[in-house]
Structure 1
Amino acid sequence: MLLFTHPTGNANVRHAALGLHRAGLIGEFWTCLNYTGASPLSKLLPGSLRTQLARRSFPDELQNVLHAHPFREAARLFAHRAKLKSLVRHETGLLSVDAVYHSLDRQVARRLRQSDFTGVYAYEDGAALSFRTAKKRGQKTLYDLPIGYWRAARDVLLEEAQRLPAWASTLIGNDDSPAKTARKDEELALADRVYVASSYTLKTLASAPGFTAPVEVIPYGAPARLPGAPVRTPRDGTGPLRVIFVGSLGQRKGLSYLFDACRSLGSAVELTIIGTLPLQQCPALETELKRERVRWIPSCPHSQVLAEMAAHDVFVFPSLFEGFGLVLLEAMAMGLPIIATPHTAAPDLIADGQEGFLVPIRSSEAIAEKLSLLHHDRELINTMGARAASRAATFTWENYGKRLAASVSRACQAPATHG
């Protein structure tokens, strides 16, 4: 039985845990927050905070294996909400994301020494201590890399900071210390098997020196269609093109190029942006969010995100460096064609010109060209959107969980390597 661990538990983590649990492979699942809303005190919390905490809830099916260690992460969320920037400062803050990851990693390593697990399944930045312990005990080390390898990222993002210094403050990965990047390399070196979600992430591992562990690409799933769920309604040729982006508001997502493209098309385009501001101020970003024909939603529940997608015509995701981009599948499931770069999972999800378009990174001109084409051909939007929805339906979370469980089962049966 495996010890499965992740500090926060986003959609792909939940479904990985479900798939492994259903296959009888998880003994314990260690995380930070496990919000159930059952406590009477939860009703006293502000509605916005309850919404945020609800994202840290897990299915009933996992409750009997869950071990929550909430204090540091709860304090981090409070400090972030109270804008106590020194406490949550990148890497060095007492309540930084890194501090939360390392704290849980220490506890997991301690637990591995106390019980006879088959191995540990852990994620980037939260696996070094656990993997060291597992290696000494002859336990399997299974590593999930949700975004591309850090050296490949730095090549792209350092260049981007030089190209557009006004946006450099949002590229926080460039600030990773040598100690943090060495830790990432140690995690990779200790892994018996690595799981990634896109062929692009796999490609970035070519720049990892001396890396030899087997890697398996298992794409994520699209949200299941529920009765009454929103879906895009085909439109005629009237009105501006409704464009939407969802994601973190940083230049790693290529946001400046999206803003440039939409601005070049004037009143032909209306842009909706959903995402929270980065901790570090970026006047260039804040200026763009205030421009005419730009609508900004800082945060909203996932159900509302999907409804917003369904109310638009096209989803644009011009990311410079990505592991997958789950929002791509979500937009496709809502019936939207997508415009995205090859530095995402888009090449694994669509055929260029069928369910959407692939555009080069850093090309506002290519984005504008595709948006203009769709603006003048609404029937093409409808056709591409229908194809996108059909294609998204082939990527299910159930299949993801089953494929992952089958691979993990095989990995656990292979002889372990000792560090």
Structure 2
Amino acid sequence: MSDTRPRVFHLITRLLKGGAEGVVLDIALGLEDYQFTVGCGASYDDDQLAHLHENGVDTEVFSLIRHYNPVTGVPAVLSVANYLQNHEFDIVHTHSTEAGIIGRFAASLAGVPNVVHTVHGVPFTDDRNTLLNRFVLGCERSAASRTDRILTNADVIADEYLERGIGSPEQYTTVYIGTDLETFQDAEPATDLPGSRPRVVMIGRLAEGKGFDILLDSVASMSHENLSVCLVGDGPLRESLAEQIRNRGLSDTVFLTGFRTDIPNVLAASDILVLPSFREGTPRVITEAMASGLPVVATDIAGIPEQVENGETGYLIPTGDPNALADRLEELLANSELRAQMGARGADRAKQFSTDAMLDDVAAAYDTLLKDPN
């Protein structure tokens, strides 16, 4: 008997182990009323592909989709369009900047009836080249005209896109990134983390734009007594960060743990989450930290203010301001009662960011298109 469920093709630039990838896997593995295929660019993690295959989800790798490589952009569009023409998908759902642009142009060429795009973070930031920002903005405006629904993980992101002339209000729907809250609420603390408590933790890919240098600057200005900082993750900046830590004399305070699969346990063994990013969407790791009862210190950008209530569940700071970060960290490190109060309020606030709520919202967007396309 043939499978009559609607067929949905997801396309993401890199299928690594980050927040956007987690959303794709949650949708592909969590919505049973649809058939999913997941496509990605040249950068991918074998474990992620294997996990999808083990759960009955087909995958396709497009080697011409590369992170900010305009040379391969047009051939990548043609490659994806050719694939879509040879497969009958009811919906194409794109993620991230490059795959979002390439995938939507390809879907238009292939005549796919319904196109959805999820904005995981605002790509126009002060730490990027002005010409690159303008180029991406032009591409986003053009791609929006080829999109039926644009899902943002925060209201403020939709507002910023509209202010920049990307799409129209009726295209936008806010879908908060979901988290399996119980996994974090019930986790046992990891016992093998370096350093002692109180422990500040930063979790994410070791890549540009996350503000690792800001964190190191702030830690260097603080008293190192009764403080440990764990940078959890892997990526292209690992060797550079290791050198910076050594050169600053922080080797007894700041530790690179590498990539870990036990994030709930890491958070349970920590006291503060920090995220001094220059660009984000609505980071899942913040919800995970709040569900774990941790206060959060993060930059006041994108969807983060919709997660972190400044002064209630943590603190919001300006981008690129190590002094503001150091001040807030010192305040929290000196006051365990304040940490506990903020953590408790954060755990309650995290309830609106559950995986089930996210899946319900995505399914509603799909169903609306399938019942009343365009």
In the superposition, the TM-score normalised over structure 2's length comes to 0.78
Structure 1 residues 211-230: aligned runs within 5 Å: 211-212=167-168, 214-226=171-183, 229-230=186-187
Specify the alignment match of 1:371 in structure 2. Answer: 329
Give, in whole Å, the separation in 2 of the partners of 1:27 and 1:273: 37
Change beyond 3 A, Cα 1:131–1:261? closer
Are 1:357 and 2:362 an aligned pair?
no
Structure 1 residues 325-404: aligned runs within 5 Å: 325-404=283-362
Cα deviations by residue, 1:372-396 (Å, 9 ceiling, x for unpaired): 2112211111222222223224421
Are 1:119 and 2:85 an aligned pair?
no
Q: Aligned to 2:205, what secondary structure does the other structure show?
A: coil
Specify the alignment match of 2:22 in structure 1. Answer: 11
Are 1:253 and 2:210 an aligned pair?
yes
In the superposition, the TM-score normalised over structure 1's length comes to 0.71
Specify the alignment match of 2:266 in structure 1. Answer: 308
Structure 1 residues 108-147: aligned runs within 5 Å: 108-123=80-95, 124-128=97-101, 130-132=103-105, 134-135=107-108, 137=111, 139-147=113-121
Letter in 2 for 1:4: F
Q: Please, what is the CA RMSD of the aligned residues?
A: 3.7
Change beyond 3 A, Cα 1:3–1:362? same
Return the match for 1:204 from 160, 166, 169: 160
User: Displacement of 1:3 after TM fit?
Assistant: 2.7
Cα deviations by residue, 1:245-279 (Å, 9 ceiling, x for unpaired): 11233452222222222222122432111232426
Letter in 2 for 1:253: K
Give, in whole Å, the separation in 1 of the partners of 2:295 and 2:151: 28
Specify the alignment match of 1:295 in structure 2. Answer: 254
Give, in whole Å, the separation in 2 of the partners of 1:322 and 1:132: 24
Return the match for 1:67 from 41, 58, 62: 58
Change beyond 3 A, Cα 1:275–1:344? farther
User: Displacement of 1:335 after TM fit?
Assistant: 2.0
Contact 2:53 2:59 in 1 (8 A): no
Give, in whole Å, the separation in 1 of the partners of 2:299 and 2:237: 26
Change beyond 3 A, Cα 1:106–1:289? farther
Are 1:30 and 2:38 an aligned pair?
yes
Are 1:157 and 2:127 an aligned pair?
yes
Letter in 1 for 2:214: Y
Contact 1:125 1:183 in 2 (8 A): no
User: Displacement of 1:219 after TM fit?
Assistant: 0.7
Return the match for 1:410 from 365, 368, 371: 368
Letter in 2 for 1:302: T
Gapped regions of structure 2 (runs ≥ 5): 1-5, 191-195
Contact 1:289 1:295 in 2 (8 A): no
**Higher relative contact order (CA closer than 8 Å, sequence separation 6+):** 1
Count of residue pairs the alignment pairs up:
350
Give, in whole Å, the separation in 1 of the partners of 2:239 and 2:336: 38
Q: Aligned to 1:190, what secondary structure does the other structure show?
A: coil
Change beyond 3 A, Cα 1:255–1:374? same
Letter in 2 for 1:113: Q
Give, in whole Å, the separation in 1 of the partners of 2:232 and 2:67: 23
